[in-house]
Amino acid sequence: MPASDHAFVPTPHHLRHGLPARTGHARQSSRDLPSPLPQAPAVVPPHARLARKGALLLAALLMGSAAHAAVITVHPGEKVQDAINRASNGDEIRIERGRYVENLKVDRTVTLKGIDLPTIDGSNKGDTIRVTAEDVVIEGLKVINSGDSLLNQNAGIYIQPGAHRAIVRNCYLSYNLFGLWIEKANDVQVLSNNITGKRDYDSPKRGNGVELYNTKGARIIDNEISFVRDALYIDVSHHAIFQRNRLHHSRYGTHYMNSYYNLWEDNDTWNNRGGLALMEVRDQTIRNNRAWHNTDHGIMLRTLQDATVENNWVIDNGRGLFVYDVEYTNLLGNVVASNRTGVHLSGSVRNKVDGNDFVGNQLQIKYAGTRDHEWGGEKGNYWSNYRGWDRNGDGRGDIPYEANDMVDRLTWRYPGTRLLMGSPAVQALRMVGQQFPILRVPSIVEKHPRMQPQPVNWVDWYTGTLNSLYNAPENLRREH
């Protein structure tokens, strides 16, 4: 019978005293018991012995860890570095509210936990905190005043190569050159922090809010980052998640290159020169983000392949989407509205562009190409300046939409001609271009555009957002 079947196995008590198993018969007296017989020990399969040893070893490790982990409290006037130096792996260092002027080196696996937001002040030199050990947790601290050497990459918190699985959460990082510099450290988590830079420096002399270089598995979630050079600077970093971050008053909300298999979701970028800038990348998912009131582009897609860009709201930017050299990418369900140029498009083919709304952009498409490209699909795109009709009531236009004509090309080359856009001469020129194919220019064409926009109320959201920011603290306001 296999060992897993429920056959009777004598207990140690039976084996020691030669007792038979209990049955449903009457209990025998001691006089009736047979003389003890030698019993063979129960056979335990090798895999069961290994499993038992493994369980015992794990229990011993856990008990040992719990027994040896200590809580060390640092009071005002004491040195946090002294507490780190005498801590063991697994200890928690609790730092009471106060100002601690020192540059910390965390070289063992500990938790630095602030009580009522104590301040670690780097006194404008070096890194305020440098992490060299794995599995370090930093939470509830105010980390300020790193040095300002771009050459040495001075940071509020510098997570150096090999310091994997670090967690930085619920911290305020202020007046540091780089907020966090994370290099060759995998599975790092940056959660619910507020990061501002040296805001009185010119943009080129500032560092970035969070710099990720050559990492895997990062989680950058629920952070507010402002007044830095680039809020998020990502290079050669893969399998990362960027969610619910608020990125504003910087050069780029994201400056992102040479990175693959990442998720950008539910982020807000506003009052930057550029919102999301993704360059030289592939296998991205970019969805449910809001990019608004950036002076140049809302979302830049440059040299991008095999990506999905869906359900983003791109509103009131210089250029809503800047799409350059993009292939095998789906642009689906986006709202591109009230930008000076809705989409600036060049050298991008073999993409699916469907289900989007292009609403009230001064120029819907600026297309630099030598032949027509067809957009649209099962759902169709909505164009607020479409002048066609829908005779059969299927919700799709009966005549094609063409984004550009010869008048648009003239205004690109000679911007001063915009002053004449309402004149009869310009309208006559536009009509002539439509009637004579020889004068027609290459364009984005959609055979049957959608007649109605998506039922999403982005107008109320945008109006409410602007009103709330006018009444917000100064660092969040709409004005540049």
Residue 310 has pLDDT above 60, yes or no: yes
Helix (H, G, I), strand (E, B) or coil at 469: helix
Helix (H) or strand (E) holding 82: helix 80-86
Task: Give the dihedral sign, CA 45/46/51/52.
Answer: positive
Q: Using only C-alpha atoms, what is the Rg of the chain?
A: 33
Q: Are 185 and 163 in contact (CB under 8 A)?
A: yes
Q: Which of 34-48, 83-97, 344-358, 369-383 has the highest mean pLDDT?
A: 83-97
Q: Is the pLDDT of residue 345 over 90?
A: yes
**Are the C-beta atoms of 120 and 141 separated by less than 8 Å?**
yes
Percent of the chain with pLDDT over 90: 68
Work out the pLDDT band at 368, boundaries 50, 70, 90.
Answer: confident
pLDDT band at 311 (very low <50, low <70, confident <90, very high): very high
- The bridge status of strand 137-139 relative to strand 167-169 is parallel
User: 298, 276 in Cβ contact below 8 A?
Assistant: yes
Share of the chain above pLDDT 70, in %: 76
User: Can you tell me whether residue 377 is helix, strand or coil?
Assistant: coil
Q: Which helix (H) or strand (E) holds 261?
A: strand 260-265
Residue showing tokens 């693959």: 260
Contact residues for 388 (Cβ-Cβ < 8 A; gap 6+): 397, 398, 399, 400, 401, 449
Judged against a pLDDT cut of 50, whether residue 318 lies above it is answered with: yes
pLDDT digits 0-9 by tens, 122-160: 999 999 999 999 999 999 999 999 999 999 999 999 999
The pTM for the full model equals: 0.81
Side chain identity at 140, as an amino acid letter?
Answer: G
pLDDT digits (tens, 9 = 90+) for 43-66: 555 555 555 655 555 454 444 444
Tens-digit pLDDT profile for residues 190-218: 999 999 999 999 999 999 999 999 999 99
SS3 for 437? helix
Q: How confident is the model at residue 402 (pLDDT cuts 50, 70, 90)?
A: confident
Nearest-angstrom CA–CA distance, 212 and 253: 14
Question: Are 233 and 215 spatial neighbours (Cβ–Cβ below 8 Å)?
Answer: no
Torsion of CA 467, 469, 473, 474, to 10 degrees: -110
Residue type at 20 in one-letter notation: P
pLDDT at 431 over 80: no
Mean pLDDT of the chain: 85
List the one residue out of 312, 442, 267 whose CA is nearest residue 366.
442
**Residue reference for tokens 């309402």:** 422
